[in-house]
Structure 1
Amino acid sequence: MGDVLARRRLLTSARERLLDRPDADLPGIPDQVAASWRRSLAHGVDPGAVVNRHHPDLDVDSRLVRCARPVIEQVAEQIAGVPVCLVLTDARARLLVRLDTTPEIGRAADDNRFAEGFGYDEGAVGTNGVGTVLEAGRSVHVVGAEHFVEPLQPYACAGAPVRDPFTGRVEGVLDVSCRAEHSSPILHSVVVSAAARIQDALLHDRDTGQQAVFDLYTRVDARSRRAVLAVGARSVLANTALCTLLDPGDLAALQEHARFRMHRGPDVDDRLDLPSGVRVRMRGTAVTVGASVAGLVAEVSVLREADGMTVSPGLPRLRPVPEPASTSPAWRVAWTAAAEALRAPTPLLVVGEAGSGRRRLLADLDRALHGPGHVVEVGPVEAGADPAALIRRGGPSPLVVLTDVDRWDDVAPGLPGALRASGARLAATAVDGSRCAPAVAEVLAGFRRSVTVPPLRNRTGDVASLVTDVLADLAPGRDTRLSADALRAVTRHGWPGNVAELREALGAALRRRPVGMLEVGDLPASCQSAPRGTLRPVDEAERDAIVAALRASGGNRAAAAAALGVARSTLYRKIAQYGITV
C-alpha cells in the first residue's frame, strides 16, 4: 500500500510541476506517460474535467464491429467477476461498442462520458487507454494518476491497437477499463491477446471475393502509372493518383458508377461526365468468383475533350435538352443516349429495376423535346382493351411507352397495326429485356437502341434532391423537409424498391407528421435497416420492434434489450442480421 501511495504522490507532484512549467523535467515518470502529458498540455486539455464531443453518425455495424463483437463478449464472460468496461473504438478514438460486466462500472463510465458515440482522443481527454494508444501506435496501460485529467485518475485502462491484417493500418482500439484498485498487469495481457484475436477475425472475414478484388487491384496498381479504382461489395480502394486526380464529389460519383457497371458485363470502357463537369474514361474488368461478381478494378484517365450531345440541324422544332438533374454518371449516360434516340426517332428500350425511374426518364425527356401531353403508356394485355383507341387519344405522333414488357404474356392483337397506323414514336421499359414472351420479343426485334438506368442505391448523390421533389409532389404548398438525421438515414438506406419505395416511405412519414420537420422516428422502420436478404413477414415484425425499441431508448442498446426482454448479445446479433442503423 505504501508503494501505491508513494507512486501516486510522485505522479501528482510531477503533473503539478508540468502544469506550472511546461518544460519541467519529469524524473521517475515513464517516458510514454511523460510524452502523453506534454501532448495533452500542448493540445490545451482541461486537467480538471472530461470535455469531449458526441458523434451521432458512427458506423456501429461496420466490419470491424462485426469481427470484434464476439471477441468482446467472450472476454466479458471470462472476466465477469471483475467490474470492467470493454470498449471498441474506431481509428479516431470514437467509441463504437461498450460492454459492462456490472451496472456500477457502467454508470461510472457514463459519468465520464466514456460511452458509445463519444470521442476519447488524447487531444480531448488527455492520457488514456484509447487516445494514447493511437498516438503511440502500441498498447498502453494507464493506471490512476498517470491519467492527465483528474476525473479519470480513480480508474485504470489498458488498450491495444487493432490493425488491418493486410495493410497494417490501425482500424481501432480495444480497451478494458476499471477502478484503479482492480487493475492488474493481467488486464494488459488480456487486451493485447483479444486485439490479436480481432485482427485474426478480420483476416478470415475477408472473403474470397474481397481477396480477388484486392489481388487484381494490387497487380494493376503495380504495373500502371495511372489512377486506379477498385470497388467491391463492401470496400473501395483508390491509389494516390486517383485521389489527387478527382475531387471528392467526382470520386464518389465514379465509385457509384463502378458499383452499377460491374454487374453489366466483364469488360468496361466508359466515358463519363462527372458532377464537376470533368469528363473521364474508365477502363477495367469486373472481378468474378465462380458465378458471382465480386467487384470491379479500373484505370481512370481525364479526357481533354468535352463531348456535348450533337443537336441535329434537321430538327429545328425540337427544344434543347436540359442537363439531367442527377450527379450519377450512369443516369447521365442513360439520359444522353435516350435523348439521342428520341430525337432520331429510334425505338428505345429502357432497362432497369422496378421503381428506378425508367418511365420518368422517358416522360421528362419527351416533355423537354416535344412539350407536355404526348406520352401514352400501354401495359399488358387486358380483356376488352383497345390499344388503337388508347394511342389515338395521345394525339398526333405520340410517344407510346410499352411498360414492363418482360411481364407481358402476349401482345394485344391490334397493337402492332395501331402503332404503324399512328406513326407513333416508340419506347419500352423492362427489368430484363432478355426474358420476354415470344410475341413480345418479335416487337422488340424492331428496336435499335437501349439504355440502362441505375438503381437508387447507385445514385446516393441524388437522394437529397429526390426527397425535395417527392415531398413537393406529395405535400404541395406545405413546409415539409427532412431533418439532418432523417436525411442521413434515408441516404444510407439501400432502397431495394428504388424511387417508388422512397416515395412510399416519405408518404408514410407525412401521414405521421403532415407539416414541418420530419424526423427519423417519422420514417418507417425499414429505413433504418439494410438486411442482406429478403425478410419474411415475421422477420419484418421483429425488425420493426427492435427499431422502435432503439428509437425509444435514444439508441441505448442496453435499455432497448431490457425493454424487449432479450439479452444484449441477442440484440447485437439481430441488429447485425437486419442491418439496423439506429
Structure 2
Amino acid sequence: MGDVLARRRLLTSARARLLDHPDADLPGIPDQVAASWRRSVASGVDPTVVTNLHHPGLDVESRLVRCARPVVEQLAEQIGAVPVCVVLTDDRARLLVRIDTTAAIGRAADENSFAQGYGYEEGAVGTNGVGTVLEAGRSVHVVGAEHFVESLHPYACAGAPVRDPFTGRVEGVLDVSCRAEHSSPILHSLVVSAATRIQDALLQDRDRGQQAVFDLYARVDARARRAVLAVGRRTVLANTLLHTLLDPGDLAALQDHARFRMVREHDVDDRLDLPSGVRVRMRGTVVTVGSSVAGLVAAVSVLREADGIALPRSVERPLPEPASSSPAWRGAWTSAAEALRSGAPLLVVGESGSGRRRLLTDLDRALHGPGHVVEIGPASADAADRVRRAGPSPLVVLADVDRWDGVPPGLNAALHAHRARLAATTAGGARHGAAVAGVLAGFRRSVTVPPLRNRSGDLPSLVTDLLADLAPGRDARLSAEALRALARHSWPGNVRELRDALGAALLHRPVGMVEVGDLPASCQSAPRSALRPVDQAERDAIVLALRESAGNRAAAAAALGVARSTLYRKIAQYGITA
C-alpha cells in the first residue's frame, strides 16, 4: 500500500510541476506517460475534468465492428468477474462499442462521457488508453494518476491498436477500463491478445480475390530483394524498396497503369516513362480468382533516372508533351504520333468518353496545324461530301465504328480520291459488322487509351481545363474537399461525365469556390459495383436528404421515413460521402 501511495505522490507532484513549467524535467515518470502529458499540455487539455465531444451518426455496423464484436463479447465474458468496460473505438478514438460487466462500472463510465459516440482522443481527454494508443502507435497501460485529467485518476485502462492486416494501418483501438484498484498487468496482456484476434478476423473477412493478391505479393516480396507493387480492387501494397525508388507522383502513376493493364492482359512486361522522367520496367502477373480479375502483382526496376533524359533532336514539327501523368496515356500519345507522322491508318481503342478523339485532334493539330480533321460518325449522312470539302490529305476520323451498321455511300472512294489520312475509334472488345471490318482490315496500328478512373493523377489538371472551358473568364474553382469527392468517383462516363458533372455544379455555383454540395449526387458516392436505375434514385434521395439536414443522419432518416440503422447501411452500401 505504501508503494502505491508513494507512486501516486510522485505522479501527482510531477504533473503539478509540469503544469507550472511545461519544460520541467520529469524524473521517475515513464517516457510514454511523460510524452503524453507534454502533448496534452500543448493541446490545452483541461487537467481537471473530461471535456470531450459527442459525434452523432457513427457507423456502428461497420466491418470493423462486425469482425470485432465476437472478440469483444468473449473478452468481456472472460474477465466478467472484474468490473470492467470493454470498448472498441474507430481510428479517431470515437467509441463504437462498449460492454460493461457490471452496472456500477457502466455508470462510472457514463459520468466521464466514456460512452458510445463520444471521442476519447488525447488532444481532448489527455493521457488515456484510447487516444494515447493512437498517438503512440502501440499498446499502453495507464493506471491511476498516470492519466492527465484528475477525474480519471481513480481508473486504469489498457488499450491496444487494431491494425488492418494488409496495410498495417490502425483501424481502431480495443480498450479495457476499470477502477485502479482492480487493475493488473494481465489486463494489458489480454487486450493485446484480443486485438490480435480481431486482426485475424479482419484478415479472414477479406474476399478471396484480396487474399490471392496478398498471397502472391508476399511470395514475390520474399523471393528476392526487388521493388514490388500489388494493386487489387480496393488495396494497394508496395514494399519499402519501391517507396525508396519512386516519388509519390510516380508511384501514383504506376498504380494507375497497373489498374489499367490488369483487366487486359495476363502477363505484363512494360517499359514506362513516369511523370518525373524516371523510366521503369514493370513485370508482373495478373491475379485471377475463377473468372474474375483480382489484381496485379509486379516487380519494378528503374531503367533510367530522371537526370538521364536525352532531349530528342528533330527537324520535324516538335511534338508537345502530353498533358497527362498516366504512363498508358503517354504511351498511347507517343505511338499515335508515330502513326500519324507516317500516315499509317490508326485505330484508337478505349471506352466512350475517354478522350480518344481528343487525342487524335490534339496530335494532328500539333503535327499539321489546325483545320485538317474531319470526324465521321455512325449517323453522318453526308460523309463523302465532307471529305471532299476538307481539302487535300485531311485526317478522317471514323468515330465509334463499333456502332456503325455499314460504311456510308461513297466514303471509300472519297478517302482514296483525296488521299485522306485515316483513323478510327472503337470500344475495347467491340464487334464490327462485315462492311466495317473490311475497312478496318487496312489498319496496321492501334493504341489503347486508359479510362479516367485509371488516370487519377490527371484529375486536377482536367478539372482546371474543363472549368476554364465551361466558365471562360470566370473565377470558378473546386475546393479541396470537392476534388477529393471527384477522385473517389469511378467515372463510368469518363471525361465526358466529368464535364457534365462540372457543368451541373456551375449551375449551383456559377463563380467562386465549388463545394461538395454543389456536385451532382452521383459524385458524392463511391459504390462497390454498378448501380441499377432504382438504386441510383435511392442513392440520390439519400444524398438530398443529407444535404437538406446539413449532414444530420437522424434528421435525414426521419425525412426519408427509414430507421437510422437502415440509413447507415444504405450509406455504406452506396459509399455516400455527403
Q: TM-score, normalised by structure 1?
A: 0.81
2:175 and 2:121 map into 1 onto residues whose CA distance is 14
Cross-structure match for 1:499 = 495
Show the counterpart of 1:229.
229
Tell me whether 1:89 sits opposite 2:90 in the alignment.
yes
Quote the residue 2:172 is aligned against.
173
Q: Tell me, yes or no, if structure 1 residue 16 matches structure 2 residue 7.
A: no
Native 8 Å contact 2:253 2:327 kept in 1 = yes
Equivalent of residue 435 in structure 2, options 439, 446, 465: 439
Residue 561 (structure 1) shift? 3.8
**Residues 151-186 of structure 1, C-alpha deviations (whole Å, 9 max, x = no match):** 76688766332134468x4623335699979x9999
Distance 2:90 2:202 in 1: 15
Map 1:108-147 to 2 at 5 A.
109=113, 114-115=118-119, 120-121=121-122, 126-134=126-134, 142=142, 145-147=145-147
Is 1:569 aligned to residue 565 of structure 2? yes
Structural mapping, 1:273-284, within 5 Å: 273-284=273-284
Q: Residue 171 of structure 1 aligns to which amino acid in structure 2?
A: V
Equivalent residues of 1:176, 1:187 under 8 A apart: no
| Cα-to-partner distance string for 1:381-435 (whole Å, 9 max, x where unaligned) | 55xx232102123222111111111111222232222211121111111112551
Q: Which amino acid in 2 is paired with 1:16?
A: S
Identity of aligned residues (%): 67
Contact map agreement 2:11 2:145 (CA 8 A) in 1: no
Gaps of 5+ in 2: 19-23, 77-82, 100-105
The amino acid across from 2:236 in the alignment is V
Mapped partners of 2:413, 2:95: distance in 1? 66
SS at the partner of 1:270? Answer: strand
Counterparts of 1:527 and 1:378, CA distance in 2: 32
Aligned residue for 1:534, secondary structure, equals coil
Q: Is the 8 A contact 2:266 2:286 kept in 1?
A: yes
> Structure 1 regions of 5+ residues with no counterpart?
none
Cα distance, 1:546–1:105 mapped onto 2, change above 3 Å:
farther
Tell me how far apart the structure 2 counterparts of residues 248 and 178 of structure 1 sit (CA, whole Å).
Answer: 41
- Residue by residue over 1:421-464, the C-alpha shift from the partner in whole angstroms, topping out at 9 and shown as x without a partner, is 12111111111255111211111111111111111111111111
Q: How does 1:176-215 map to 2 (within 5 A)?
A: 195=195, 198-215=198-215
Bigger shift: residues 537-546 or 462-471: 537-546
Instruction: State the 1:83 CA deviation.
Output: 13
Which of 361, 371, 380 is the matching residue for 2:359?
A: 361
SS in 2 for 1:303: strand
Partner of 1:463: 459
Q: Say whether the 8 Å CA contact 2:333–2:359 is kept in structure 1.
A: yes
Distance 1:52 1:456 in 2: 46
By how many angstroms is 1:347 displaced?
0.6
Structure-2 change in CA distance of 1:35 and 1:565 (3 Å): farther
1:106–1:375: structure 2 CA closer, same or farther, 3 Å change rule? farther
Say whether the 8 Å CA contact 2:217–2:229 is kept in structure 1.
Answer: yes
Larger mean Cα displacement after TM superposition, 261-270 or 207-216:
207-216
Match of 2:250 in 1: 250
RMSD: 4.2
**CA offset digits 1:54-96 (Å, max 9, x no partner):** 9x9xxx99xx9942133577899999xx998955333xxx247
For the 8 Å contact 2:93–2:131, the answer to whether it is kept is no
The residue identity in structure 2 corresponding to 1:501 is E
CA distance in 2, matches of 1:108, 1:126: 13
Q: 1:395–1:153: structure 2 CA closer, same or farther, 3 Å change rule?
A: farther
For 1:64-75, what aligned pairs fall within 5 Å after superposition?
66-71=62-67
Residues 548 and 84 of structure 1: is their aligned pair in 2 closer, same or farther, counting only changes over 3 Å? farther
Q: Of 400, 409, 412, which aligns to 2:408?
A: 412
Residues 262/414 of structure 1: CA separation in 2 closer, same or farther (3 Å cut): same
Choose which of 523, 531, 537 in structure 1 pairs with 2:519: 523
Q: Matches of residues 280-359 of structure 1 in structure 2 within 5 Å? A: 280-304=280-304, 316=316, 319-359=317-357
Deviation of the 1:135 alpha carbon:
6.4
Which residue pairs with 2:417 in the alignment? 421
C-alpha distance 145-51 of structure 1, shift in aligned 2 (>3 A): closer
Shift of 1:268: 1.4
What is the CA–CA distance in structure 2 between the aligned matches of 1:52 and 1:322, rounded to whole Å? 59
Residue number in structure 1 paired with 2:160: 160
Distance 2:107 2:386 in 1: 71
Equivalent residues, number: 550
Specify the code of the residue in structure 2 equivalent to 1:325: A
Q: CA deviation at 1:238?
A: 1.6
